[in-house]
Structure 1
């Protein structure tokens, strides 16, 4: 029996977004009443919504061209789909505090404790419980994040990507910019704003799927990320 665990946030108007990124706006564009030519009615049943949002809204993946200007041209529509359809593991780093760096030793110890091995082309998900602890609070933007050394260590293992619950892969103002640069340099990526990672802790490998929209020239895309267990 197949078990599918949803790892993606809802998208809705007013949801938290990173710093100065576009706010999400959602409105009714067409109603069923309009389509059915029902006049003088106070009812508005949505038939089509109009969405205004940035590529980096909610649970999303970054394209390589987002990492730094020298990677212009490596947009989301040109990245191989195999990067978004991988094997995955999830490690428990829920002891990490606000604004704390995740180091190589943290990842190594978590893998050893959970008897997990990082393999080539894996997606490595990092559970910090930051979503359940802080989403919608003043601390939401102040999560733990990867150090530059830990990011390079992961990239040198030739993984496809790593994923975090936080709004940024590194610690803002400390390592975040450099984490992006390293991803661009080594040709791998990351997912942000993931949820339900606690449901993956203590479990074996799974199929990870998080296909992006095919946005021409896109610097990233919202994804519906899932972990699939075949029992």
Structure 2
């Protein structure tokens, strides 16, 4: 079976704060020209996309330098729900190495698809207040040799006014510390993963009902010197 896990590219779609707006508009038309073409204006990180190491690392590999086969993943779905806005995802929420070992039928996973539930908030302000990976969780992924796919803007917190607000108090936090009291600045989770050329696929959707293990294809445009690219992300699995 196949399922499209990508967001449609369309005018006015949500973008990461500060990124270019997306417009898709007619250029030539059947009525005027006898054929149709369109003009697309977009950033490289609009909609469902993959990051290249060059995204956050000045000397990192560019998207066109990465072999096409590296965008075909053996994925493992990790359902993290329920999560609170801007809740940190810590290492203990991720599978250990035993859970990622290959069995008789499956290849070892090389991508964790983290289902936070935030796809339901696409197109709203709440989408910016997504959960995020702590640097320690990103290091756990690096130790396991796996990249991440997310139904959010990315593995790091997205800047928003909510970042300064008091977050939910968790039972596992010492002394009633708010969950986002130590919310990191910048892109530490990106940096940990991309420094080891581990893939990051962002803004996935339609994760409901997926099996625990599946193949994920997320082929980027071959943008010369690119720091990332929109993709058509497609899951494949056996019935």
TM above 0.5 = yes
The reply to whether residue 59 of structure 1 matches residue 48 of structure 2 is yes
Cα pair 2:56 2:190 within 8 Å, conserved: yes
Residue 138 of structure 2 aligns to a residue in which SS? helix
Partner of 1:211: 219
- Map 1:145-224 to 2 at 5 A: 145-159=132-146, 161-172=147-158, 174-175=183-184, 177-200=187-210, 203-224=211-232
Partner of 1:122: 110
Q: In the aligned structure 2, how far is the partner of 1:145 from the partner of 1:101?
A: 5
Aligned length in residues: 210
RMSD, matched Cα? 2.0
Cα pair 2:48 2:201 within 8 Å, conserved: yes
Cα pair 1:166 1:193 within 8 Å, conserved: yes
Q: List runs of 5+ in structure 2 lacking aligned partners.
A: 103-107, 160-182
Cα pair 2:221 2:229 within 8 Å, conserved: yes
Tell me: CA distance 1:122–1:163, structure 2 relative to 1, closer, same or farther (3 Å): same
Instruction: Decide which of 66, 74, 83 is 1:87's aligned counterpart.
Output: 74
Tell me: CA distance 1:22–1:77, structure 2 relative to 1, closer, same or farther (3 Å): same
Cα pair 2:100 2:109 within 8 Å, conserved: no
Q: In the aligned structure 1, how far is the partner of 2:212 from the partner of 2:198?
A: 23
Q: In the aligned structure 1, how far is the partner of 2:38 from the partner of 2:224?
A: 22
Q: List runs of 5+ in structure 1 lacking aligned partners.
A: 37-45
Q: In the aligned structure 1, how far is the partner of 2:95 from the partner of 2:41?
A: 41
Give the TM-score, by structure 2 length.
0.82
Partner of 2:3: 5
Deviation at 1:183, TM superposition (A): 1.6
Q: Give every structure 1 segment of 4 or more consecutive aligned residues whose post-TM-superposition deviation is greater than 4 Å.
A: 118-121
Give the TM-score, by structure 1 length.
0.85
